[in-house]
Amino acid sequence: MEETIAGAENTQIAGRVPQQRGESLLETAVRYAEERHWDVFPGTWLEAVGGMQHCSCGDASCPAPGAHPARPDWATQATGSATVARRMWQRQPTASILLPTGRTFDALSVPESAGFLALARMERMELTLGPVTLAPDRRMQFFVLPGGAVKVPDLVRKIGWSLSSLDLVALGEGAYVAAPPTRFGSRGAVQWACRPTAANRWLPDAEELISPLAYACGRDR
């Protein structure tokens, strides 16, 4: 499931989670739980109707086709057990892989353009990053230690910004992110901008990333 942006990993050490392209969603979900100890849950999936890919939710105007929760009680369905994950995806092998935030990690979501600007700035600052995803909705999610989301408004104010003026969304308890290689309809698949590695198993605190992310979002307005 090597869904990684070319050139985005030149300073990272190869880890175990990313694999070859073509790995099944089932095996990928199992390895997220088994190797990374992330909770996972299956979301909606794509169905071919009249030669077109449609979301299993049945909404013709679904904003994230095949990449959102399939049931309202998804939070109780999420599991960190590889055995349970395997059983869930065996029931629906094409279900998207969703990761709840507020458990083993929170996520800071920013527009793609701001995300790449922040990544370049973080590299110059020699910051240690956690995994970072890039979704087809043109947003990037930076994984941080759980509990970081609730601190973001104060952290942003301390460096002179107003959170309402920035397109920076903190995802904590009750939210989720789509994991590679989940597809958003015909728009493409979620990729790793910074993939999970042995080096980034220990996540950064939100406080470590907030300055370059806020600066990049401010520049991106």
Output the pLDDT for position 20.
39
Q: At which residue do the structure tokens 């458990």 appear?
A: 103
Q: At which residue do the structure tokens 């990049």 appear?
A: 216
8-30 tens-digit pLDDT: 443 333 345 445 356 899 999 99
Q: How far apart are CA 28 and CA 6, in angstroms?
A: 20
User: Which positions of the chain have pLDDT values less than 70?
Assistant: 1-22
Token pair listed for 75: 């939070």
Strands 169-171 and 46-49: unpaired
Q: How far apart are CA 214 and CA 161, in angstroms?
A: 8
User: Which among 126, 149, 145 has a CA at the least distance from the CA of 201?
Assistant: 145
Output the pLDDT for position 136.
95
Strands 46-49 and 106-111: unpaired
Output the pLDDT for position 19.
53
